[in-house]
Every structure is written in structure tokens, then in C-alpha cells.
Structure 1
Amino acid sequence: MPPSHHPSPTILLPQLPPKTLVGIDLVAFTSTANFHGIRDLPPGWHFLYTGTTESFSLRCGSWFHVGDVSHAGKGDNETALVRAHAQPPQQPLGADIYIWKWSTESESLSCLLGESDSDRQEAMRYKANLGSLWQSGGLFRYRSRVSPAMLLNKPGSAPLEARLAEEDEEVEEEGRRDWRQLTNRLSPEVLSRIVGSPEQDVDGHLRWTVTSASTANRDADHIPGVDSPSTEEKGDDKTGVRKTIEREKEFNFLPVDLKRTWREGAIGRERTEGARDKTWALSDLVLRNSSRVGGEITVDESTGEAQILGELQFTFLMVLTMMNFSCLQQWKRLLELVLTSRQAIVERKSLVSEVIRILLKQLQRCDDVEGGLFEMDGDEGGHFIHDILKKLRRSVDEVAPQGSNSTVRTELGKLEGWVKEEYDWELNRESVVRRGMLQLEDGEEVEMEMEDNDADEETGEYAPMVVDLGEHHTPVEEDGDETSDLDDVRY
């Protein structure tokens, strides 16, 4: 790399041990002794994580942004990203160089914070050695996907190599486009709310750290007498020095309570409708996380919706890369809240449409992990998503019938076509025979019924229940306030 040229965005990983699991966005590999970092980072969000082994080890990673972070979180704004890549901002040499040094004590990467002269001098030495690392091949070029040429065991003929190079370019561009669509709703505000304040390195770059053990308080297993406080002191028998050990970061997720989706004080029919249609709970969540403008007179609901979209992307990617259990639970909670809000299909059609678009892209990449992360053909992840999509399809047919100009119906059509082709899922309830006669080999006919038909037909354990309240039954609570059993009646 000629010293006169502005270096491409690069992340240096000095002192990284060989055979360490390294992941950058959706690509993971094992480091070698000659691996010192990754060059040619494209503009936008990136997530880099490490693990001492490929499996059964704690993974530590950090989010960081290349380019102007003010463009982050505003949707699929590819024009701004291309412009930033074509004309890099005038910055001092080395301003796009990220230095994360391996810490043997924590077995993770830590950035140089610039709190002392020694840190700043160390950063300058690494930057000065950048050219020799480039020439020696110690810096790997950024890849969004595995190249088809990498899968070739032996060199082929010239036409074959030319075709592989062309396919490689197409696959790489597709991978970068997918990553942008998977992160286009992430913003510094979303990350700071979920994982806390970011670290700032010697050049002013921000990064938000996460581990595979991080969890939200609601998803943690609390054992009385065993749980440790937020910090604890641990003594060293050899040195006598006591060290302060910090607990894992706690996620601050949006408060989604699917067991109570109606307003406080609601009774009777209002509670029943709130349980069936979660639009009130969704609107309440949006309003409570929206910003106020004009002296707190006007509420900007787009900021509240952006928090939901950003968290939906964050939780999915933390499952995909870090296999974080708490993020998986919150991802499912957010999907169920938005996609079972019937009136939101009309009242918040832009939010619901965006969630469907995000979900389609996420399902297309959920098999990036070997074996399929959500095991879509199994009983857990596949059943949950299939059931949610069937309910959504039925709600769309009722709220936004065929022929109406509905962006939600349009996006759902794309998703429905993909899951039909990929998993053979049928979302239209009317297209599936749920009860009928089956003729056996000996000619005998038996009546068959689908196992999950009770919920749709409101039969069996889902059948309505009639409660006899009596003529003068008015129970009194301990505080003396009279209440009505109508709270427990379903209409």
C-alpha cells in the first residue's frame, strides 16, 4: 500500500492467538499466525466477535460503524452508503483504522482507549506498520460471504476461473446488500439503550460490546443465595491482590408483556378484544418510546417505531452470531406483538410492512449457521413462525381484503411465496383440509382431524365457557372495593 494513498477502512487485531474463532458480520473463520486484521471494510454497521473455540466457549463481540453514523438507522439508504464509499471524508491519516488488541486476561478484544501517552504511542506504532502488514498478506480482505473460488479444491481451467471470479463478484455484492438490509434500522440510540454506553478509542471511534452470556433480567435464571451482586471482589491467593469482577451486561429490551395487552382498568369485552388483537399494546409501546418535539406537545411516533425495528434486527443478529438465548426470546416476543396486532395492519401499516420485509430477509439468512439456527423444519422455531404467519394471513384477509391497496398484503405476498417454495408452508387456512374421511388399505374409512384444529375451530380446550354468576353475586375484595366477575367473562 503506497503511503501516499488514503488507507481503506481497516481493523487491526494485534496479538490475536492463532486458531481463534473470528467472525465479521455473517462470515466466521479460524485465525492463523499471519492474520493481523481485516481491510477494505465497507461503510455501514459491522459486528466483529471472537471465541476461544468454535463451539462451547464464551463469545465476545462489538458493534462499530464505518463512515458517517448519522445516516444509520434510517432504512435502506444505499445511495448515501455508495456516496460515502466513493468519496471518503477528508480525515487525517489513520482515522479509519480501528485497533482492537487481544487481552489474555479476559480472552477478548479490547480497544486502545487513549487514556495515557503509552496507549496513544502504541496506536501510532500499529498504524505505522500498516503498510508492511498489507504487503505481507497479514490483512484479509473483507468478505460478506464465502467466495465460490474458495470452495474449489484445485485450480481449474482459465474459463472456469473466469466464471468463478464473475460468480464471486455477484455473490459478494448480494451478501453486502443482504447485510445492509439486516442492519439498516440499527442506530446508536438503539444500541446504547440495549447494551449501554459505548466505548471510545483513541481516534474517537465508538463500539458497543456484547457477549453470548449477556441477558435481559426477565430471561435470567435467578437462584436465591447463589446470584451474585452487580460486582464482586475476588481474592488471589498468590499475590493477595483483590480484583473486582464485573457481571455480564444486562440487556435493556423494550418491555413486551404478551400476557397483558389491554389498558389498565379494562374489563369485559375490551379485555377480550385486547387479548385477541394486540394493537393497543403495540401502540402503547411505540408511544412510550417516542420522542417529544415542540416543547413536548407533539409526539414523533416514528422514533418509537424505529426502536422496535432496530431491536428486531439486533436480537436476530445476536442469535445468528452469538447464539444468545435472551435475544431469541425477545425476537419472538417482538414478532408476536407486531404480527398479531390486527388493527395495526391499517393504523400502522408502514411499521407492519417493514417488520414483514425484515422477517423475510432474516428467514432467508437463518440457515447461515450449520444445521439451521432455528431448525425451521422442527417443532420449535418452525412451528412458532408458521403459526404466527397463518394468523397474520387470516388477519390481513379480514382487515385488508383482496383488491385493497395494502402495502402489508403486498409484503406478505412476497413472504408467503418464499416460505411456500422453501418450506412448503401453506398460510391460507382455506387451502388446507382440516377434517375429512381417509380410506385405509383394507377399504375401511375413518374420520381424521388435524391436531391443531381446536384453536381455530374453538373446540376442545379452546371451547367457550359459560359462567353462571348468580343473581346477586357481587364479591368484595379485602380492601372493601366492589368488583365484578365480568372481568373474567369472554364474549
Structure 2
Amino acid sequence: MSTTMDQNTAKKLFEKGGFFILLNVPEGTEFGIDLKSWNTGEKFRGIKMIPPGVHYIFYSSTSHGDVAPRTGLFHYFRPSEIVVKKWDKEKECLSTEEVSDEDIVGLKENIRALDSFLGPYPYDIWEKWKKLTSSISENVLKKLIPLNGEVHSALELEYCTDNNRKDIQQSASKPSTPKHAQKLYNEYEDDLLPNLKPKYGTNLQFSIFPPNYYPVGSSPAEITKHSLDCSYLFEQLLSTYDRPQDILGELEFCYVCFLVGHSLEAFEQWKKILGLFCSCDDAIKKYRQLYNKFLSIIELHVMEIPEEFLADIVSNRNFVYVKLRNLFSFIKECDVDGTLKCKADRLRKNLTEQYSWDFSHLGSDDEDDAPVIVDLESNKT
């Protein structure tokens, strides 16, 4: 989509679109919104004609050729809304000082005088951005953003006691799902690490996965069942959201925080949610519409992420490939309508064409997970 538009369209967007005004920002600062970024000029005062909805505004201060880690903030813009921020020259970041109502009113009354100092929203990325954030509601944003309102690519850490550190590790650990039941920290390695925790108010408030993948009091047979099908864990996690579809909002939120905000913590949560979706059988039948939307979202996500990010550094196995192979196998054998199966088949073919991923022989055991066959006859003496 071209950024060139006729005068009538531009006038309507100027009147209905939002404004992000940034005062006193130094020249040369890296500044961006959604999927586009620039280096600010001397006259830069912000962005105009921002479409209503969720947007991600980010920046990096620059000094003598060095660029600071990226910092950003989400905002759900109302039609014609004006958001005003000031730059803190000493801290080289957005000021936490509130802009007075009087100043905001003054800017609103003279908004046309600022027109030449405001860059237009880059409409060539608008359609793509809408697809990437289609499930992020205002409530999802409020739940997930840090208390200080900013997303930092470099996590701010501070000292903590041993007891606090154990609490953090337990809340951040992976659920004890069957093949994923590995501790996040090795005890020996943990002793060598400094006692640090995210600075209060700066960490993303991700949903915490339930600690158990099976109900309390389950029999050995039931535990085995839940180890093969994580639908119980899936429903436990869904119950923590206001609406089931909000889990897709968190998935998209994590993806944007990683893709644009450069947050590795968000990428890890994205992988956990994806992994859970791909480890369920019964849930596919019960939440068909949710899975239908999930497939659309994942197709968009996987096509954007560089393939090297999808591989596990330790095992050199492609995490997303392994998980999606598992999901395609479940859907293939699942008693669901043809729409979901057709969408899964289309995604499988697109990924094969894009990355040459082999999804043949679905349902067969992975070589590393296949049972060991012991020939008892040959061992007899």
C-alpha cells in the first residue's frame, strides 16, 4: 500500500486519526511506530494520522554512534486522541513527568500549527500491523504490560534474596508437561548465578502456566493420558483469561514484543503458548474456532521470524517444526470439520514450500522419542 494519498483522504485521516506528540526529543534519536522506524530530524515533534486501535511506539537514544537498547510502549488510540510525552535529557528516555492538562489543551487547539513538525503514520504497513495485532484487546494490554508501562529489550535487574529468587524461578518455570518436564534451572548452575531479579514494575506480566499437567489425585493411567494430551493444562490456562480468545491476544502480544520490541523474554513466552497449543488432542475438538484462528496467526508469525530463531541452540532442532508436526498429526487424526483440516493442510504445504520442512509420515514416532525394541529371544541363553 502506497503512503501517497489524495487530499480528501489525508484530511479525513488528520481529523480522525490519533497524534503522538514527543517534545524535546534530540535529533538523531531512533524512533518508530509499529513496523517502521526512523532517525529523528531537528524539527521532529511526533506522529500524526494514527489509525484507531493498538499501536507500539518505540525509541532508542543515540550517542556518538552508539545506540541504546530499544524501549517501547503500547497504546490503544481512540479516534482523534492526542498523546503527549516529554523527553528526559538526563536519563535519555521518555520522561515519567505527567504533561499538564493545560499543555495538552494548548496543543490540541494549535494542532494544525504543528502539522509540518509531525510525520504521517506509515500506511504502507497498516494492513500488516492489523493482522499481527487482531486479537490484542485493550484488556489484554492492561493485563500484560509492565507496571511502569514500558517494554525494555534489555531486562532491568536488581539484587534479590535467595528466597525471593526461588519464588521467581517457580513462577517462571515451565509446567511439568510430559516431554517438557525439565527444570528451568540446573541446581548446580543456579548456585553460580548472581542473585538477580527483574526490577519491580519493569517485567512483562505474562500469564503463569499451572504447575501440574494433570488433576490432583490422578491415577497412573490418568497421568499417562494427560502426559500425551495436554488439554487439561490448556483448559486450566484458559480459565485465567477473561475470554478464551485472549490467549491468542497474549500470543500476538509476545510476538510483537519480540519482533519489534526485541524482547527475548516475550519470545520464550510465545514458544510456551505455541507449544501448549500443539500438545493437545481433545482441546482441538472443543475449541475448533480458537484453533482455526491460531493456525492463521502462526502462519503469519512463522513467515516473519528468521529461521535461525526457531531452532533450539542446544539440540539444534527446530522448535516450531517439531511442535507443528505434532499438531498436524493430532488434527489429521482428530474428528473435526474439514475447514480446520484444510487450513492445517494449507499451512503445512506453505511451510514446506517456504522452509523445505518435511511433514511426511505424520503420526509416526519421532526418532528420538520412539520406544526401544528389545529382542527377548536373542537374549535367551
Q: With the length of structure 1 as denominator, give the TM-score of the two structures.
A: 0.60
- Cα distance change on mapping 1:178 and 1:281 into 2, 3 Å: same
Task: Report whether the alignment pairs 1:51 with 2:51.
Answer: no
2:91 alignment partner in structure 1: 106
Query: Any idea what SS the aligned residue of 2:54 has?
Result: strand
Larger radius of gyration: 1
- Cα distance change on mapping 1:111 and 1:100 into 2, 3 Å: farther
Cα deviation code 1:170-220 (max 9, x no counterpart): xx2xx322211211211222222222568xxxxxxxxx4322235886279
2:331 alignment partner in structure 1: 396
Query: Any idea what SS the aligned residue of 2:289 has?
Result: helix
Q: Structure 1 runs of 4+ off > 6 angstroms? A: 219-225
Figure out how many residues of one structure are paired with residues of the other and give that number: 332
Deviation at residue 111 of structure 1 after TM alignment? 6.8
2:320 alignment partner in structure 1: 385
Task: Report whether the alignment pairs 1:458 with 2:371.
Answer: yes
Structure 1 residues without counterparts, runs of 5 or longer: 68-87, 89-94, 145-171, 199-207, 231-245, 291-302, 367-371, 435-451, 464-491
1:410 alignment partner in structure 2: 342
Cα deviation code 1:113-155 (max 9, x no counterpart): 35xxxx2333344445532332xx32111115xxxxxxxxxxx
Task: Report whether the alignment pairs 1:193 with 2:204.
Answer: no
Query: Any idea what SS the aligned residue of 2:74 has?
Result: strand
2:164 alignment partner in structure 1: none
Q: Distance in 1 between matches of 2:89 and 2:194?
A: 28
Deviation at residue 289 of structure 1 after TM alignment? 3.3
Alignment of 1:140-219 (within 5 A): 140-144=119-123, 172=124, 175-195=125-145, 208-214=149-155, 218=172
Q: Distance in 2 between matches of 1:214 and 1:66?
A: 26
Deviation at residue 226 of structure 1 after TM alignment? 5.6
51-60 or 25-34: which moved more? 51-60
Q: Distance in 1 between matches of 2:192 and 2:317?
A: 35
Query: Any idea what SS the aligned residue of 1:13 has?
Result: strand
Task: Kindly report the root-mean-square deviation, in angstroms, between the aligned alpha carbons of the 2 structures.
Answer: 3.4
Structure 2 letter corresponding to 1:191: L
Structure 2 residues without counterparts, runs of 5 or longer: 1-9, 157-167, 174-183, 375-381
1:476 alignment partner in structure 2: none
Q: Distance in 1 between matches of 2:147 and 2:249?
A: 17
Q: With the length of structure 2 as denominator, give the TM-score of the two structures.
A: 0.76
Q: Distance in 1 between matches of 2:303 and 2:324?
A: 15
1:64 alignment partner in structure 2: 75
8 Å CA contact retained: 2:310, 2:320: no
- Cα distance change on mapping 1:252 and 1:379 into 2, 3 Å: closer
- Work out the percentage of aligned pairs sharing the same amino acid: 22
Alignment of 1:45-444 (within 5 A): 45-53=54-62, 57-67=68-78, 96-110=81-95, 113=98, 119-134=100-115, 137-144=116-123, 172=124, 175-195=125-145, 208-214=149-155, 218=172, 227=195, 247-256=200-209, 260-290=212-242, 303=243, 305-366=244-305, 372=306, 375=308, 380=313, 383-400=318-335, 405-429=337-361
8 Å CA contact retained: 1:256, 1:334: no
Q: Distance in 2 between matches of 1:62 and 1:37?
A: 14
Cα deviation code 1:154-178 (max 9, x no counterpart): xxxxxxxxxxxxxxxxxx2xx3222
Structure 2 letter corresponding to 1:311: E
8 Å CA contact retained: 1:339, 1:352: no
Deviation at residue 227 of structure 1 after TM alignment? 4.4
8 Å CA contact retained: 1:390, 1:429: no
Deviation at residue 18 of structure 1 after TM alignment? 1.4
Structure 2 letter corresponding to 1:98: V
- Cα distance change on mapping 1:105 and 1:266 into 2, 3 Å: farther
Structure 1 letter corresponding to 2:81: D
269-278 or 54-63: which moved more? 54-63
- Cα distance change on mapping 1:412 and 1:225 into 2, 3 Å: closer
Structure 2 letter corresponding to 1:26: L
2:37 alignment partner in structure 1: 28
Q: Distance in 1 between matches of 2:96 and 2:117?
A: 19
8 Å CA contact retained: 2:328, 2:362: no
- Cα distance change on mapping 1:382 and 1:22 into 2, 3 Å: farther
Q: Distance in 2 between matches of 1:43 and 1:288?
A: 28
Q: Distance in 1 between matches of 2:303 and 2:146?
A: 30
